[in-house]
Structure 1
Amino acid sequence: MQSAEKISITMTPEQLRAVRESVAAGEYASTSEVLRDAVRLWQRQRQEDAERLNVIRARIRRSLDDPRPALSFEDVEAHLEALFAEAEQGSDRA
């Protein structure tokens, strides 16, 4: 195992009780193991959030770089109305 540094943390009584219950139930060997697992989960969540944000930024960038002309509100509204009318006709046939 890599060298470790001892730290002090403050937890609510409910959090500490949950950690101790998990250790007592045999889910973890120690409170340190519980907290290391929690930090790993936190790190993974941060990485996933960063990846999702990068995907969103890339989609925005592609949209901004799209060479097609921008649509006016009226163009979008007319297109949506046509799509809704088409969908409604399709549901009438069913």
Structure 2
Amino acid sequence: MRALTVSLTPQQAEMMEAAVQNGHYASSSEIVRDAPELWEQRQELRQRETARLKQAYDEGMASGEGRRVDADTLLAALKAEAPERG
């Protein structure tokens, strides 16, 4: 393993100490080792979400020309569809 120096705020240090004292982690080192894994998971989630949004955008652009609808007309149409959806 590679050693790394990490600076924490007093609140972060207190939270880590509490997590160890409460038995949620065996040591503060275990908490720090958990952080990169959580960061990787968050990065993967962001990539999937970005891809999903890009796909939705592309599908929207490919669906044809948009049309103007005023708010009252849109609301009425959504209310009319509501019973059909269950």
TM over 0.5, shorter chain: yes
1:72 maps to 67
Where does 1:1-94 land on structure 2 (aligned, <5 Å)? 4-66=1-63, 68=64, 70-73=65-68, 76-77=69-70, 81=73, 84=76, 87=79
Question: Matched residues in 2 for 1:55 and 1:82: separation?
Answer: 25
Secondary structure in 1 aligned to 2:59? helix
Runs of 5+ unmatched residues, structure 1: none
Change (3 A) 1:81 1:16: same
Q: Decide whether aligned partners of structure 1 residues 32 and 81 sit closer, same or farther in structure 2, where only a CA change above 3 A counts.
A: same
Segments of 4+ moved more than 4 angstroms: none
Percent of matched pairs sharing the same residue:
23
Where 1:10 maps in the other structure, the secondary structure is coil
Change (3 A) 1:60 1:82: closer
Secondary structure of the residue aligned to 1:43 is helix
> What CA distance in whole angstroms lies between the structure 1 residues aligned with 2:58 and 2:19?
45
Distance 1:82 1:37, change over 3 A: closer
CA distance in 1, matches of 2:19, 2:75: 55
How far does residue 86 in structure 1 lie from its aligned partner after superposition? 8.1
- RMSD, aligned CA: 2.8
Query: In terms of Rg, which structure is larger?
Result: 1
TM-score by length of 1: 0.69
